[in-house]
Chains A and B, each alone.
Chain A
Amino acid sequence: MSVLELETEVRAGARPGPRPQSRRLPGRSWHRWISPLVLVVAWQIASATGLLPTRLLAAPSTIAATALDLVRDGTLPTAIAVSLQRVLAGFAAGAVAGVGTALVAGLSRAGENAVDPIMQMLRALPFFGLIPLFILWFGIGETPKVLLVALAVSFPLYLNTFAGIRGVDGKLAEVARTLKLGRAQLVRHIVLPGALPQTLVGLRQSLGVAWLALIVAEQINADAGLGYMINDAREFLRTDVIVVGLLVYSALGLLTDALVRLLERRALTWRREFLSR
């Protein structure tokens, strides 16, 4: 039984009296929009009546208008471009480091002994706590921000790729042996594709944490980017700009997540066709 079917049954059971099970579940998904809409309307009313002062939180209508203004005058696109650049650079560096170390550790016992203890030690460090050191080492420019993102990204990718490599079915490795595959071919045809599903899980985790690391990094001494826009708005009590910045952060997070899911669907077709049978 799928989760969806289970949900229908639970919901049906919550209603009084017996009810034929509805099969039009997707058509009823607008039900889920009701409560968020009610919340926004209540928020708008509270703002309009002065119950919720703009100093604490701007009205939804104000936020929408501000967003439009920020797009028109170029502030928001520029800020997004700067932040996106930081995330991309940090992500690229972190992905190379994370997957690279996972390959070293995953493909040989000696590599594991050399790399894994260090990675486990570093992983235990609260990486936001490294910010003061990063500032001392790299100043307040782009480097500490990009490095913080890279550091945050590398651990989920390392852990998942390493686990993925070690989780590859030993029976397939035996097949490779009977087919006389060399070590390079074993890695290319069996180990890496076998580790890919788990690596993609790591990719999703690491992109999530990449945005988080960026937000934290941009709180300190940024002179451009979304974090700067938000900090600047705080000085002038512009809660509308702050909320726009937060919404953009979450939209970018959702967007990258959707990209990974797209990638997953393309890379794991062999699994999808099996599941959808």
Chain B
Amino acid sequence: MAARVPVQVSPPEVAASVRALTRRFGDRTVLDDLDLEIARGEFVALLGRSGSGKSTLLRALAGLDDEVEGGLAVGESVAVAFQEPRLVPWKRVRANVALGLARGDARARAEAALAEVGLTERADAWPLTLSGGEAQRASLARALVREPGLLLLDEPFSALDALTRITMHRLVLELWSAHRPAVLLVTHDVDEALLLADRVLVLDEGRIAHETAISLPRPRHRDHPDLVSLRTTLLAALGVSPEGTA
């Protein structure tokens, strides 16, 4: 990480803390003096239109951006699952999950993680032979096997078909309940955010333009009246007028 980003160890109750974060690409300011705090174990969904800076923020938190300005404090362990699963094609699924783990129990830990995402029998498969859903499960296993304090999910379900996506939502909730990492889920699917998150943020022009906490217990039903009204609010915040009106 670049020297001009002061990295502090975050206080114990906070999984990630962002202060006055700014990122410019030439003349364009993508993140504009942004503040954000994610509590330990909190599930946060980040919505925003294309180009609103969602992925830029996630990359900054993942430590992949050396040119952000401002304060960024994340805990020791951050794991990322990307939109494309980004499995290493020349390593079998098990080796992908175990990549970067300290030797010794790496294999056992990888297999345990694969069992958790239901991929035990594909442990010896080559990544290119996996279906989209399987590859995304493997990618989740690779992130979770590190027992992260902060799990960053960059639109991991957007390329999956609708049925697989429902299964993956359940899986993510199960894994989250079992391991309790803080999660930042970047998505542009309002329903996904409503079903999964404790808190939904809307990013617009590099700032957090809207913020809603959802305290409904999970599993949630998308037709719940609270969610229906929230959906309208969030869509409005995203600049989409509700159905049936001009």
Contacts and interface: CB of A to CB of B under 8 A. Distances in A.
A193 B224 CA distance: 51
A123 B59 CA distance: 41
Nearest to A182: B100
A178 B79 contact: yes
B64 A178 contact: yes
- A interface, how many residues as a size bin? 20 to 34
A273 B125 CA distance: 10
A171 B100 contact: no
Interface string A190-212: 10011010000000000000000
Contacts of A41: none
Interface stretch (B16-24, B26-34, B87-95, B201-209): B87-95
B63 A177 contact: yes
Given A178-B63, A274-B128, A193 B99 contact: no
A174 interface: yes
B82 A179 contact: no
Interface in B75-99: 78-80, 82, 84, 86, 88-91, 99
Interface string A165-178: 00000011011111
A181 interface: yes
Contact of A274 (B78, B80, B82, B129): B129
A149 to B, nearest CB: 31
Contact of B84 (A171, A176, A270): A171
Nearest to A267: B90
Given A189-B88, A271-B128, A274-B129, A171 B63 contact: no
Contacts of A177: 63-64
B64 A174 contact: yes
Nearest to B95: A189
Contact of B88 (A175, A180, A269, A277): A175
A270 B128 contact: yes
A236 B207 CA distance: 89
B173 interface: no
A113 interface: no
Interface of B: 62-64, 78-80, 82, 84, 86, 88-91, 99-100, 126-129, 142, 146
